[in-house]
A and B are shown apart, each in its own frame.
Chain A
Amino acid sequence: MMRLSHHLTDPLIRSNPVTLQILGICSALAVTTALATALTMAAALIFVLCASAAIISAIRRHIPQAIRLILQITIIATLVIVTDEVLRAYAFEISQRLSIFVGLIVTNCIVLGRAESFAMHHPVRASVLDALGNALGYGLVLVIVATIRELLGTGRLAGIPVLPLADQGGWFEPLRLMQLAPSAFFIIGLLVWAIRAARPEQIERPDHRLLLRQDGTWP
């Protein structure tokens, strides 16, 4: 069990799919203006990733090598359609706010990446744990970014007022920038910086360095 559990814990921070491997960012950022949409998106991804890993791992010995990608995409797309329809049926309002981004889980590189690189070569239990770990790592980044953006952008958290707004007699002036696209990029950039400050082994080494002349001027 000890050997299995690292599949679950590794992708949370140390090899987080979003901040280290640059996977799945496409959908990760657009839904982070509010905590509610981020949590729904994380739940949708956890379901799709775990279910696809379980199915693909279970039938991995029967998948012909030549058509494995198209088979994986078909399985993933089917699960995404099911998720999308369930959200539409039981949480219509939030599925409207998620707009096209639930559908875009199909092209989320984390899902296909884990299927191709892990679930195709490992038994079901390890694959599901690995999928759950990666999905939680993705969800963690989503929740952190969404918390910062919603709290500083509107003074609310999951729709509940937390900071008293200035125009209602409080002291907090909402930062409108936090609700716009650029802030998501800034927050992820700073998050990457924070993780790399804590784990210096992840710092990217430059291919080459510039050397100053002896007198300290640029060559």
Chain B
Amino acid sequence: MLNLSSFVQKAQQLLDPTQGLNLSESDRNPSKASLFQSQFRLPSSQHPLYEITAELTIPPANATQGDRDRDRGFQYAGKLHLSEAYLCFSTTPSSFQQSASTSSSSIFTGQTHGGGPSGNGFTFPLCAIRRVERLHSQTFQFALSIATWNGISQDAAKEKDKKDLKEQRITVQLAGTRPACERFCDGLKKGLRANVGNVGKLKKVTAECYSEYLLRPEDKKNASPPDAGLGMLFKYPGDPKKLRDRAKMRLWAEYLRDNGRNVTLIRQPTFHKLIRVGLPNRLRGEMWELTSGSIYLRLENPTLYSDTLSKFSGRESLAIDEIEKDLNRSLPEYPGFQSEEGIGRLRRVLTAYSWVNADVGYCQAMNIVVAALLIYMSETQAFFLLSALCDRLVPGYYSTTMYGTLLDQKVFESLVEKTMPILWEHLVKSDVQLSVVSLPWFLSLYINSMPLVFAFRVLDVFFVEGPKVLFQVGLAILRINGEELLDAADDGAFISVLKSYFARLDESAHPKSENPKLRAVTKFQELMVVAFKEFSGITHSSITELRLKNKDAVLNNIESFAKRTAIRNLSPDSKLLSNDELGALYDRFYGVLYERQQRDHILKQEQARRNKSSRSRIAEVASEGDHGIEKGRVGLGPSTSLMDYDAFREFLAGMSKWAISDSPTTPRREALADKDKGFYSSFKRSDALLSPWGAGPEPADHEFLRRLFQKWDADSSSTLTLQKVVSGLARIKGKRDIMGTISYFFELYDDDGDGKVDREGILRMSEALLFLSRRGLEGTLSPSNSTLTLSEGANAGQNDVPGQSVNERFLGSVSAFIRRCFEYADPDHPSNQHNAVREVQEKLQAAQLKETASEELASPDAFAIGDDDDDDDDDDDLLAMESPTGSPKQAKRSDVPGDQQPPELQLNSVQLTPDEDDLALRRRVSKAQSEKANIALDPSNPLHITLPTFRMVVLADELLEQFFESSFPTSFHIIDNLGSSNTPTSASSLTTFSSLGIGAGRAVNAALGGAPVATAPAVGRGLRGVLDNIVTDGMRVAAEVRRRMEEAQKELEKNALPGQRNDEEDEEDEDDPAGGERSSGAGKGVAYGGDPERRSVRSSDRDLLTGADAEASGTSRVGDGIVTGDLSVDGAGPSSGSGAGPGKVVGVEFDG
């Protein structure tokens, strides 16, 4: 329940225009809830559950104002609202239509235009209501008599005391259909019951309200009064006589006595008038808290402040450092802040807030504002009021980019332009930037611009009527000083005019007037009159509209500044990339983060919609930490400067085609693994928009990506900053130096950094090479390769894309790479390698390991779902997981070993259930071991390659060399976009052994078919890259075996046997050209299904094999015999499989 409601809350905040400048599309259509919350200044946990037209009757005893009707008291017609924990009444009915725009809604919201508790009425927490009775009424169907806890001391409420007290009792008559009234009353009943438990909290909250003390009978005033700020210790600013504090206090005492105190206060016209003339010192804090609504935040979680302080006690942060710098310089002229007491309070409030809202942390000017608040209120009160300020009243002002401040400056400028065109023209002409003057006004709420006493008067109104007050006052200042400002020709003159004006605010506005009354009017009074009369047209809605209009420009400005700064401040290695590249990287980096956040929000909103029906059951929710500010855009703050692995994948998929998944399986389980699975699973399929990858291609999840991420994540924080990404890419793309790229690649696989990559690593490297090349190579590649001339003829006839042959040849290069790696690898224990047998063993072992690697890659699900024998179930399952397009065919061929599942899924799976894989791996290994009579697997015989070896192996092959020189760095498209034509997602266009070599597959399978130990599954595991490696590896190992057999046949009779058999069978196959034809025909007919990319099975097969042969262990045996030998040994691999027919292999390959 809690979970759901917090989502609802988040979603509501997203829809809320006045909380945070979430000027998203929902801003133009603020939700009913947000309008409701902002009208009554309620926390975001509150939603308008019921509303009904009603008439409020305040009995004569309570009515102090207006045309008192002796008999009936004072009456207001309006609307009664019920939320989860509040009962609110207002005479200014806000129109809470679902799609109401801010402007249309605010027409109904009176003076504050939806921006505050305007009009007459009340906002009662349900726990403050003592009793509700239904009255018999003649005129109305329903009349409720509501009695509150106002003034009733809840702890020791003796009967006698109660009699002395005047119970606050009001009557509300509901005007609606009977069912509507019933519904409302039912809701109220439920709400009251649910909120009984909060009475304790309420007590805690009101205990800190000065009004409780003020209204206490004189004989009980011995107890110390509640904390009404530092002013009680250090005097309040200003001369109390001049401020007429006593008189104001008397008026307020009377008002509160009649209309309820703190949370039970009823707003009548006098209330607003009393505020406009300035609050009395001791009540100021409480009224600020009440009118800003921060008291309701406090009521929600009264101990949040102290809890936060104790929770983070002793912790350090950047914000705290910044706070410490400013503690001694916050209103230093006020005696309270020259004392440890005042500074301590300031420190605690700012620190606590920096913890609960880490996104904002601490911003200079907050110290001044909080210092001002602390003069009038307790620490706890100031803490919550600061929350209300940052979240609702001046959203974005103190954020790390201060976008709210900048935006409101733009808004202010456009208001000046509109209302004072002559002055505006003058400003433009004399090149005076208005905001250099006005920005501090807004940022510190006039506190350090005007003398304190006057700034507090502005604040009095600001907390009731909202941010528009800041604009009204600002405009009035300019209007009043207009003449003088028109004479000011530069910034300096402009500033000094205003400076001297502020210094004379207490002087008479009309010193020369004959009229003593007029003479008595101070400049400040004049300012207030001008602000609220002349600029009464400045409303909450007009401000909101202007904010909307300017938001994008402001954010763009901030973002381009941030971008410039971020790029310039990157470490020196970023200079390896061009400025354009850095800019593009920056955009991509933050683009991905932003997109992801937006999608996250959409998901949440969707969820909120789904949960709407359950909303009425939502209990009270703590709102701490929810700040409802739109996130993601750089201009809005720092919320997302870190990229996690998933975002990294998405980031790469936007740059490099190899990082795009071959088999989009939206949405996949692992994509949501880090989120609440159960929560999202219900709707993740419902809408394409809700795809975890948005509109972009689904990124691959290959081991290579993971390694790259880890490599870039230099401090192992599991997140990448822009700096890390830039540094990472700079090493690949920056120097364009082949040696650097080779080393870089090697380092990726040198896990322990000891300069060695072991057998496993070699296999993974080659796997990665195939992964990177499967969509074709880019960059400068030589068009032909002399070692591959055999295939040229065939390719020439069949290739539509000229580059394809290069890509095909690359596969050969990779297989040669593996072979050479093992050939030149150094043994970890030199003593182990004393004869040729050992060598062979190693290679065989390598082949097996290769298979173990592939095992590892196999989906663990296979073991769960597979229904056939052990060796087949991999394939079955993989088929099942394939995209649906190919499923009928696959189903038919479920026994086929050669499916071509792209590697992503398996890789994912590996992580999920390593144990299972491990088990399988061992099983296979042991099986193979026994079958191979232990010659292949010798764990005591580890080997490794070093960087020089690796380099040598790479440079030995022209294509590999070109790959590292050009193709790999080029494959990161930082600036240019990947054209959609460049990014085929279907597996059929991939350059792989399997997609190219139907014949290879067929040949392999033919060979395997007769092999005593069928290796088909190993080949046909469906992992394209793995398959390729296995094939290659197998070929190589087979060649070795053959050679060895011939050399030492007698010694190793036992081992020679399978090899011979395979040899024979393969020779048959190869010798029969018709067989080759058949296989290719089968490929066409069944699997390729008219795929234009299909190749000549035979030629590519040959191509590969020849490539392998040419490099085969230095023996002179080039030819079919060896080829078949290769395959047959491969067939002798650890995994046995069903006899694989050639067509079948193909059939599975191209389902994508």
Are A and B co-members of a single complex?
no
Interface residues of B (CB under 8 A from A): none
Interface residues of A (CB under 8 A from B): none
